[in-house]
Amino acid sequence: MAADHLWKPFDRVHIANPYAMYKRLREEDPVHFSQTGEWIITRYEDTRNVLRNSDFLVGNRFEWLKKGIGYFKYKDLDFSNIEAAMKGFILFLNPPHHTRIRKFIHQVWNSREVSAIIQHNLDTLLSHQSESIDLVKDLGKPLPAMTIGKILGLPESDYIYLKEQGTVMIKALDLYISFKDIMHVNEAAGNFISYFRKIVEHKQKNPDQGIISKLIELNAQEKVLDGDELISTCILLFIAGEETSVSLMSTGLYHLISRPHELDDLRSNPGKIATAIEELIRYDAPVQIVGRIAGEDCELNGKTIRKGETLTICLGSANRDPEVFEKADEFIVDREPNKHLGFGGGAHYCMGDWLARIQTEMMIRSLLERYKSIEMKGVAPKWNNNLAIRCLTELPVKLR
């Protein structure tokens, strides 16, 4: 008989709905040493403590990937692009490099024109739509790439290409990755490196108002990033908000459209949309899982975690912890307060939360202003095969 494991990240049923698995883990063994050799953390309090504790380091996903790469090296395959592209990702860096690069990006990481850019993109995308559209393919997927492309100062004609590379590259953040995926990630990483090298070279001579030009200009004065780190940072800023934003928009719209009364209420009271978005992030977190490595021996909720052991932290579970959220499994559109951990916490708290929030709010507002009715076309939701970033693959609707 197969063992009754509490942690089953590959089970299709749990990918479609991980919340029953999380509930058992929270109740039976909230700091659980799994058969996959890592600690699984599911309660809110433990999650928050780990994210805020500097004894827990980032980098285990990257280390894991590098191990995979090392393993395949004997086949004479070269995966150096992955390492070159990702070694400057702040997502995988600890102090002092994390602090140095994050502080540096922070100085230029804003955009006064962001609302105008998003509105322009929404008008472009929605004006081409017919009555029947797929909210994932026709809206959720192209919008974040168009917005971040413009904010960074990239040519519009490149967005589709970059979006394709980003979709491949983000696989590197999956919980577990196959050899075939590593090969594709390496190819996309190489494409990104060549692309951004050319862009940086061009912008050094022809600066514009985009964030890449601002990074180059500031770096020329302060000399904080080396050349590879600058390229890595451009890649991360382009891809970090891609799949995550598609996930929030598509999953969020799915939950709202499934609740027509709430959708109508938001149409009449658009001022409530921002609060609804926080609940969407809590209820069905786009980023379900983040990873850490213990930098020291640590105690967590009565368990001893040894230096070097890895932790899989389930943000999606923390957000459903009944110790913190009343009626945690219910979607309460006006829930307040709502201290969800959907954007993480501590030193690596998401840098793009403001952008994801504004963009999602404007998208819901635009749809509700344009259409009196948004109806799902009666199909069961299709989830991507990835527990780490949870996303619908399609959402066909009828607009009127």
Pairing, β 39-41 against β 310-314: parallel
125 binds ligand HEM (CB under 6 A): no
- Sequence letter at residue 94: N
387 binds ligand HEM (CB under 6 A): no
Cα–Cα distance between 280 and 274 in angstroms, integer? 10
193 binds ligand HEM (CB under 6 A): no
Among 342, 384, 387, 397, binds ligand HEM (CB under 6 A): 342
Contacts of residue 308, defined as CB under 8 A and 6 or more positions apart, other chains included, come to: 293, 294
Beta carbon nearer to ligand HEM, 72 or 346: 346
Residues 139-168 that bind ligand HEM (CB under 6 A): 148
Cα–Cα distance between 243 and 255 in angstroms, integer? 18
Among 86, 215, 235, 237, binds ligand HEM (CB under 6 A): 237
Q: Which stretch binds ligand HEM (CB under 6 A): 35-43, 74-82, 261-269, 351-359?
A: 351-359
348 binds ligand HEM (CB under 6 A): yes
Beta carbon nearer to ligand HEM, 183 or 347: 347
Interaxial angle between packed helices 211-222 and 227-239, expressed in degrees from 0 to 180 and rounded to the nearest 10: 150
Cα–Cα distance between 286 and 282 in angstroms, integer? 9
Residue nearest to ligand HEM (CB): 352
Are 313 and 41 contacting, i.e. CB atoms less than 8 angstroms apart?
Answer: yes
Residues 276-335 that bind ligand HEM (CB under 6 A): 286-287, 290
> Which stretches of the chain are assigned E, i.e. beta strand?
31-33, 39-41, 56-57, 132-134, 289-294, 298-300, 303-305, 310-314, 374-376, 382-383, 392-394, 396-399
355 binds ligand HEM (CB under 6 A): yes
- How many residues lie near ligand HEM (CB under 6 A)? 24
Nearest to 60 by CA among 262, 292, 288, 216: 292
91 binds ligand HEM (CB under 6 A): yes
Locus of tokens 């004894």:
55
225 binds ligand HEM (CB under 6 A): no
Residues 245-274 that bind ligand HEM (CB under 6 A): 245, 248
Distance of alpha carbon 258 from its chain centroid, rounded?
23
Locus of tokens 């491949």:
168
Residues 31-70 that bind ligand HEM (CB under 6 A): 58
Cα–Cα distance between 206 and 148 in angstroms, integer? 20
Among 7, 288, 343, 397, binds ligand HEM (CB under 6 A): 343
- Which chain residues interact with ligand HEM by CB under 6 A? 58, 90-91, 102, 148, 236-237, 240-241, 244-245, 248, 286-287, 290, 342-344, 348, 350-352, 355-356
